[in-house]
Structure 1
Amino acid sequence: MKIHDLITSTDELAALCERFASADFVAVDTEFMRESTYWPLLCLVQISDGKEAAAIDPLADGIDLKPLLDLLTDNEDVLKVFHAGGQDVEIIYNLTGRTPHPIFDTQIAMMAISQSEQIGYSNLVETWLGTPIDKGARFTDWSRRPLTDRQLEYAVGDVTYLAKIFPRILKKLIKTDRGVWLNQEMERLADPEHYAQDPGTLWHRIRAPGRNPQVLGRLKALAAWREREAQDKDIPRGRIMRDETLADIASHPPKKQADLAKVRGLSNGWKDNDIGKRLMKVVDGAEPLPGDEMPERKRGAPLGKEGALVADLLKLLLKIRAREIDVAARLLARSDDLEQLAAGVRREIPLLEGWRYEIFGRDALDLVEGKLGFGVENGRLKMTRISEENGPDASADDEIGQDADLPTPDTDESPEQSERA
């Protein structure tokens, strides 16, 4: 693979992107700093089509990233491959208001062909290529110039390895016919709404203190105010105020600014500084949350003790099924879905739709409705179909934990990956 020198000019970048415009895919990674800022500072972009690779310096004098951003957001013929790409996509969205599309994330893809829910990049490389990664450069200051040879080697390695691994993962997905399982997850990753920072909706991310409209109205107003303060100052929102402090003020609003000195999590200076004045103005002007904005109550009846036991059995079934077919349990169902099923909900649950229903949902529903039971025979768990007329039907027993009837691993996979598959 041809490795280019660090690209620092628009002309070099445009020529590279013109070649990549006809590629089947490009592997993409970024290095950025955001510890002390609200907006992440993009320090480096790495890209490879499997034949050549380069690192691009966004901080170089006079460079225009437009050729690269157009390739990533406008060219629908080139698949953009990331690993755990949420923050990379967020940066591209912040720069353009658009997201890369079509998109493929190898961390998400591994959920469909292994039990790994959040496999790290170094583990991914070691699993598929048997190559250990030097992590020493990972936590360096990527904003400092000049970049060292070690930093550049580490950074470009991220996409050269990814460009080798992606075709193998794709081949495995095709072989196991599991590619369709990932469509919804990939589209969610590319959804611009996921990255839009609307200050008026960010209160949903804070643990709501009850369902009192006055309290929630203050929480919404305070969360929006904090976000705007953080954006204006370009500092992390937690540097303005922690979530716990925000929720406490929403629940127990101070009557006057001097009372802010008594709020846990705020310094004494809030009692007479300008930001404290702005905070009190928000508290005093907050309106009760309208009824149509109130958070939905959890669907279904309360679980109760018996329902909680049913949910536990569903989680056991999920764990066994995930191990049986070598897939991440979270891809099949989430705990909230199982609890809703145990509480009697039968609509708008992902595990009762599409491929999830065929792979897991049908058995989960049968377990809840008394058509499926657990048993132990010769030390192995078995699930038994139960006949309504004649009781347990031994002829319908399905052994749980048996080897899944899946295609054999590719011969070019590492021994560890072959053993997993």
Structure 2
Amino acid sequence: MHIHPLITDSATLANLCSRLADADFVTVDTEFMRESTYYPELCLIQIADVNEAAAIDPMAPGIDLKPLLELLVENEDVLKVVHAGGQDIEIVYNLTGKTPYPLFDTQVAAMALGQGEQIGYSNLVDSWLGISVDKGARFTDWSRRPLDERQIEYAIGDVTHLAAIFPKMLERLRKTGRGAWLDQEMERLADPANYANDPDLAWKRVRVSGRKPDMLGRLKAIARWRELEAQGKDLPRGRIVKDETLGDLAGNPPRKQADLAKVRGLSATWGTNDIGARLMAAIEGATPLSAEELPPRDDRKPGLGKEGSLVADLLKLLLKIRSRDIDVASKLLARSDELEALAAGTRKGLPMLEGWRYDQFGRDALDLVEGRLAFAVQGGRLTMTRTEEVA
């Protein structure tokens, strides 16, 4: 494979993208910094196919990234391969309003091949290629210039190794017949809605106790205010106001701006300054959350009770047995909230009761809660056994 020098000019990048536009797939990775900003600061982009690889410097003066971004989000003939690519996808979305498509995430694929739920990149490379990845540059400050040769070599390795792994992984998926299992997961990963930080939904990320509509209405209003402040200032949300302070403000709203000076987690200056005034305006303008927006009474155990909780525990045990037997990550088959919903009586809208998940696990789960399946110990191994059909 030909490794290009660091690309810092538009003409070289355009020529590279023109060639990669004819590839069956490209592997993609990014290096970024986000410790002190709301939006991740893109510092390096790496891309490869089976013939060539390059690192691109997006911070180079005057460089035009348009050919690269068009390759990623407009060219649907080229598969984009990433590993644990959520943050890489987010960066592309922030730049274009679109996501790379079609998409293949090797971490998700590894789940279908029995390599755990969140296999790290270095472990993936070691298991598929027998190569030990040098982690020395992992925590480097990628925003500093110039980048040295070791940094660039480390960064390009992320995509050259993936370019070697992906065809092997694809062949294994074909042999096991599990490629179709991943279609839904890859579509979900590529859904732009996952990467749009809607200020009106920001309150759902803040953990609070209680379901009072007026309290949650205030939380929605001030979480929206914080999101817009963070976006406008390009600062992390926690630099504006921490989650626990938002919860305190929602539950115990100040009567006047001067009271903000007494709130734990806020500077005393908020009692008189402009940002404090904007926060008070958000609190005063809040309206109670509508019945349609109220969260379930208990997100973890919807309508369960003691007996239902025991059924959910049995379903989790069944999931462990089934994922062990077919050598697949349990998270790919079903999630805990689905199991609890099934135990509570839900039968519609659960992914595990549809398609391949139903065939591999959902049917057994349904049979368990309806009395047609039981656990047994055979030869010291926990297994499942069929019972008589329930009349």
Shorter-chain-normalised TM-score: which range? over 0.9
Structure 2 partner of 1:129 = 129
Is the 8 Å Cα contact of residues 261 and 271 (structure 2) preserved in structure 1?
Answer: yes
Structure 2 partner of 1:277 = 277
Is the counterpart of residue 260 in structure 1 residue 260 in structure 2? yes
Structure 2 partner of 1:373 = 374
**Correspondence 1:9-408 to 2 at 5 A:** 9-297=9-297, 302-388=303-389
Q: Deviations over 1:227-258 (max 9, x none)?
A: 11111111101110111111111111011222
- Distance (whole Å) between structure 1 residues aligned to residue 154 and residue 200 of structure 2: 40
- Distance (whole Å) between structure 1 residues aligned to residue 208 and residue 310 of structure 2: 27
Q: Deviations over 1:175-223 (max 9, x none)?
A: 1111111111111111111111211111112224322221111111101
Deviation at 1:378, TM superposition (A): 2.9
Is the 8 Å Cα contact of residues 209 and 215 (structure 1) preserved in structure 2?
Answer: no
Is the 8 Å Cα contact of residues 373 and 384 (structure 1) preserved in structure 2?
Answer: yes
Deviation at 1:99, TM superposition (A): 0.8
Deviation at 1:289, TM superposition (A): 1.8
- Distance (whole Å) between structure 1 residues aligned to residue 263 and residue 212 of structure 2: 21
Deviation at 1:298, TM superposition (A): 5.7
Structure 2 partner of 1:416 = none
SS, match of residue 137 in structure 1:
coil
Q: CA-atom RMSD, angstroms? A: 1.6
Q: Deviations over 1:261-303 (max 9, x none)?
A: 3322223222222211211111111112233333345699622
Please list every run of 5 or more consecutive structure 2 residues that lacks an aligned counterpart in the other structure: none
Please list every run of 5 or more consecutive structure 1 residues that lacks an aligned counterpart in the other structure: 391-421
Is the 8 Å Cα contact of residues 260 and 268 (structure 1) preserved in structure 2?
Answer: yes
- Distance (whole Å) between structure 2 residues aligned to residue 39 and residue 262 of structure 1: 31
- Distance (whole Å) between structure 1 residues aligned to residue 233 and residue 41 of structure 2: 14
**Which one-letter code corresponds to 1:348 in the other structure?**
G
Structure 2 partner of 1:401 = none
**Which one-letter code corresponds to 1:334 in the other structure?**
R
**Which one-letter code corresponds to 2:373 in the other structure?**
L
Q: Deviations over 1:57-83 (max 9, x none)?
A: 101111000000000011010000000
Is the 8 Å Cα contact of residues 209 and 251 (structure 1) preserved in structure 2?
Answer: no
- Distance (whole Å) between structure 2 residues aligned to residue 208 and residue 79 of structure 1: 41
**Which one-letter code corresponds to 1:175 in the other structure?**
K
Is the 8 Å Cα contact of residues 7 and 54 (structure 1) preserved in structure 2?
Answer: yes
Structure 2 partner of 1:407 = none
Deviation at 1:342, TM superposition (A): 1.1
- Distance (whole Å) between structure 2 residues aligned to residue 220 and residue 244 of structure 1: 14
Is the 8 Å Cα contact of residues 209 and 216 (structure 1) preserved in structure 2?
Answer: no
Is the 8 Å Cα contact of residues 115 and 322 (structure 1) preserved in structure 2?
Answer: no
- Distance (whole Å) between structure 2 residues aligned to residue 314 and residue 46 of structure 1: 43
Indicate the percent of aligned positions where both proteins have the same amino acid.
Answer: 69
**Bigger mean CA deviation after superposition, 259-268 or 215-224:** 259-268
Shift in alpha-carbon separation, 1:389–1:362, aligned structure 2, 3 A: closer
Is the 8 Å Cα contact of residues 302 and 340 (structure 2) preserved in structure 1?
Answer: no
TM-score by length of structure 1 reads 0.90
Is the 8 Å Cα contact of residues 81 and 106 (structure 1) preserved in structure 2?
Answer: yes
Count of residues in correspondence between the two structures: 390
Is the 8 Å Cα contact of residues 73 and 101 (structure 1) preserved in structure 2?
Answer: yes
- Distance (whole Å) between structure 2 residues aligned to residue 309 and residue 38 of structure 1: 42
Shift in alpha-carbon separation, 1:306–1:209, aligned structure 2, 3 A: closer
- Distance (whole Å) between structure 2 residues aligned to residue 383 and residue 140 of structure 1: 50
- Distance (whole Å) between structure 2 residues aligned to residue 132 and residue 188 of structure 1: 31
Is the 8 Å Cα contact of residues 30 and 45 (structure 2) preserved in structure 1?
Answer: yes
TM-score by length of structure 2 reads 0.97
